[in-house]
Every structure is written in structure tokens, then in C-alpha cells.
Amino acid sequence: MTTNPVLGSLLENLDLIEIIFKETHDAFKNDRQNTGDSKEYTVQEFIECYLTNDFRIKKGSIYSKDSHSNNIDCVILAPNHPILTTPKRSIILAEGVFAAVEVKPDIANKIEFNRGLEQVKSIKALNRKTFIPDLSRLTKTAPTPDFKKKIPSIIFSAKSSSPDETYKFLYAKLESKELTIYDLPDIIVTLDNGLFVYSPMISTTLFGNYFLKNSPGTIENTLLHFETNKSETLALFIWHLLTLPSPVLMNSESLLIEYLSELKGIKIKGYRMEKTAS
């Protein structure tokens, strides 16, 4: 039993998520709109619990200067995003998006998983300017790579295939050239099979350096899988979410990080996403 109030809050929120994501009663299986909406709202409300009041979450297409994404379930707006409404719509600008979450309750269903990946691809296709000063010359480090300026994208699911099957499905998408490594989700949340985290530069992720240090021979383009129970999965998701690259300078590190960092003993596995050159 935990006395950590943040981890305790995750357990209480998990109770509601599990109720909402339960199998729909036969009487309401034709009412897909309300069923889907309830799951999206639940994920939105869950995420909002761990953000400060200057963030907002909306549903809709994300617009850049020359394009737009598909309709996305939960778009987290950074504090600098203007209200930007018209009599007909609320407009979401790519430059003011902190992260985007697509809710797909069952990605064991490959059709549903593929739809989620297509949603993410439409987000990753957007070009945007970020408002973080490039200090690489002063710090003598490499400039921020272009992929880090893209919108962090997440798939949230209750059901999934085994970690190995999930990896194989993603790898097949890369081999068939349906997706590139820059189209993949940054995070895949699965309540039944733990958390997946991907980056073309895995060392830039929350546990990347630790994983590379403790897994000799592992290099970049690695899909990390965290073997966690449901509450640990939610905790790791929030931890990763709060440490995603922001399009703007943030005032300070979230005070939740110290509480979330009490998670211990989680197993991590890495999957290479590109073939090694022969």
C-alpha cells in the first residue's frame, strides 16, 4: 500500500478508467458515438488531473500554416496557446500544442491500431516553429534535431497484443514503408501490457541514457518497453508526458516529478526499429 499521494491518486483514477473502458453492454453496442466519447473524455479528464491550470485540452484538427492533421481526440495546449475561436469553431495551432493523444481502446485489433498510427502520422506531418532558444553553440552540444520540433504524439489503449507482437506490427509498417521512423508515436500506453516509448534518438528520452548504459550494444532507434502493472503504466505515462519537449519555455519542472520518481524495479526491454547495416 502506497502512502505517496500522487501514486495513490493514480490508483483512484485507474478505478474510473477501468470502469469506462470495460466491455460495452450488448444493449448499447450500437451506440458507438457515446461509448467512444466517454472513453475520450475519461482520458482527457485523467490527463488534466496532472497538468497545471494554464494547460487546456481540446478535441479537433491541428493546423499549421500550410496543412492540418486529422481530427485528434485529446490535444494538450501549451500555456501560450490563444483562445482563438470563431462563431463556427475553435482553432488549434501546431505551434501551441504540447502533445496530442489518440484514444484507441483495443490496439490488439490491428485495424484499430492502424487507424491510431494514421492519426499520429497526420500529426507528425505538420511543420511548426518552436520557441525554445537554440543554445547549442554556448553549450557546445548538437543543435536540436528537426524531429524534436514535431508534436509529441501518444496512443492510449486499454487492450493490446503482447509486446513482441506490438513491436512486430510496428516494424512491419516500417519495412513496408507505410511509416518512417519519424511517423511513429512517442508513447503507446497499454493498460494490459505496459508502456512503450520511442524516439529516433532514444538517449533523449526519460530513461534512455540509463537503458543504453545498462544494455551494452544497444544503440539509437530503439523502442523501449516498460513491463509494468496498470497503475505503474499510468505513473510512467504521466512522468514521460511531463518531460516531453515543449514548444515554449516552461516556468519550472513539475512538482509531481519527485513523487513519480519513487517508482522502482520496473523491467525495460529495447526493440531495434531499423536493421543494422551489413
Give the other-Cβ count within 10 Å of 215's Cβ.
14
Mean pLDDT of the region 207-216 = 73
Mean pLDDT of the region 70-85 = 95
Mean pLDDT of the region 204-216 = 75
Q: Is the predicted pLDDT of residue 200 greater than 50, yes or no?
A: yes
Q: How confident is the model over 173-196, as pLDDT tens digits?
A: 999 999 999 999 999 999 999 999
Mean pLDDT of the region 48-61 = 96
pTM of the model: 0.91
Residue whose grid cell is 524531429? 147
Q: What is the mean pLDDT of the chain?
A: 89
Residue 264 burial by Cβ neighbours in a 10 Å radius (0-12, 13-18, 19+):
exposed
From CA 130, how far away is CA 235, in angstroms rounded?
27
Q: How confident is the model at residue 65 (pLDDT cuts 50, 70, 90)?
A: very high
Q: Is the predicted pLDDT of residue 252 greater than 70, yes or no?
A: no
CA distance readout (Å), 201 to 4, 186, 264 = 32, 11, 24
Contacts of residue 80, Cβ cutoff 8 Å, sequence gap at least 6: 96, 131, 247, 248
